[in-house]
Amino acid sequence: MAMDATPLRSEELLSLPPSRLVVTLYDETIGALRASIQAIHRKDIEARCNAVNSASELLATLYLCLDHEQGGEVADNLGRLYSFLIPRLQRINVYNDVETAEDAIRLLLPLRDSWHELDRQIEAGSPVSPAA
């Protein structure tokens, strides 16, 4: 999936439905992690650091968006995952660790896909299954 190099502006993000906002944040996070891998291969330290910092900030945003009251156990589990990943991403910078970036992408992609499906169902007006 090609990522747009132009970051979304705050007003654009705020105008998105919540489920689409989450998908967008996942897309941006995964894109930043992929950019960090490319930067490692190019030996571009500055680009790697910028990409990792961006991914960390995006994960922090996802964490801050969690609604533990409505989300219950799912929100708690996502919070634990984000709390695990954010400091772990620094391994990418410290060790040029492609594997850590790839692991994070593997963890985030299924979540992104689930949110994308939820967003698609909401947009189509379909009933949303609580067992997702």
Domains identified in the chain and CATH numbers: 18-119 (1.20.120.340)
User: pLDDT band at residue 5, thresholds of 50, 70 and 90?
Assistant: very low
| pTM for this model (two decimals) | 0.86
Residue 28 has pLDDT above 80, yes or no: yes
Name which residue leads in pLDDT, 89 or 19: 89
User: pLDDT band at residue 61, thresholds of 50, 70 and 90?
Assistant: very high
**What pLDDT score does 15 carry?**
82
Average pLDDT, stretch 101-117?
Answer: 98
Q: How far is CA 75 from CA 25, 42, 55, 64, 101, in A?
A: 16, 37, 19, 11, 23
